[in-house]
Amino acid sequence: MKTYYSISKRQAFVEGFKDGIPIGLGYFAVAFSLGILARNAHFTPLQGFINSFLNRASAGEYAVYTVVAAGAGFIEMAIMTLVVNARYLLMSTALCQKFDSNTSMIHRILVGFGVTDEIFAITIKRPGLINPFYNYGACAIAVPCWAMGTACGIIAGDLMPSNVVSAVSVALYGMFLACIIPEARKNRVVAILIIISFVLSFIAANASFLTNISSGTKTIILTVVISVFAAITFPHPEVENE
């Protein structure tokens, strides 16, 4: 079994790069749709590239572009990004358990900075201890593809007719439906929570007594309230067993 010590840094990097190629291709397609949304929020291609390079999360970026388009402030943007991306704290904690005790803090920080859902998945399933250079290899292809996809989406949005841009924008919502529908079909609790989220979001968007609250703040409040409600009412069985 390959471990942290059994392969060289170069070999680990190459293996990570190869495993990151299909991830990068998928990232480019998803980020392209996010680029259309970023363009509607008046981001330039360079701004979109930098944002995607530093914030490699579809939900997190969607939240950023949404609150920016709504004219929200920096505090709302920061809180929303923190709430939406909180799952990466758990992923990074899980990966820490697979580091060799001699792994330096800088490697731990860089691996945590590069964590995404897909990179976490290919890393956590590897046997033995984590070689940071495997993650660096995966990020070397996945992260640029994600950032370039956003920039290309913004450029294409500026070149395409408005009706085509509107049509392409629907692809992003299709992506989110593709994420939630399979899980909702497997888990009735998730399906119920999704329906509750839709209903409460509609009420929050149209309720007259909430008109003085920005859409970004509404999203933050709903995300926290529904998440806490779900955690208390429907605790995960694996957590209880542990």
- Contact present, 77 and 216 (Cβ < 8 Å): yes
Rounded distance between C-alpha atoms, residue 87 and residue 106, angstroms = 21
* pLDDT exceeds 80 at position 219: no
Between 217 and 104, the more confident residue is 104
Rounded distance between C-alpha atoms, residue 94 and residue 88, angstroms = 10
Q: C-alpha angle with apex 174: 169 to 178, nearest 5 degrees?
A: 155
Largest CA-CA distance found in the chain, in angstroms, rounded: 63
State the pLDDT at residue 49: 93
3-state helix/strand/coil string of 7-70: CCHHHHHHHHHHHHHHHHHHHHHHHHHHHHHHHHCCCCHHHHHHHHHHCCCHHHHHHHHHHHHC
Stated pTM of the model: 0.66
The pLDDT-based confidence of 240 (bands split at 50, 70, 90) is very low
Query: Which two tokens mark 183?
Result: 């899980």
Q: How far is CA 157 from the centre of its chain?
A: 22
- DSSP 8-state symbol, 101: T
Query: Which of 71-75, 214-218, 230-234 ranks highest by mean pLDDT?
Result: 230-234
- For residues 154, 182, 115, 10, the Cα torsion angle rounded to the nearest 10 degrees is -100
148-152, 162-166, 207-211: the lowest-pLDDT one: 162-166
The size of the chain, in residues, is 242
Query: Which two tokens mark 1?
Result: 């079994």
Across 152-162, average pLDDT = 79
State the pLDDT at residue 88: 81
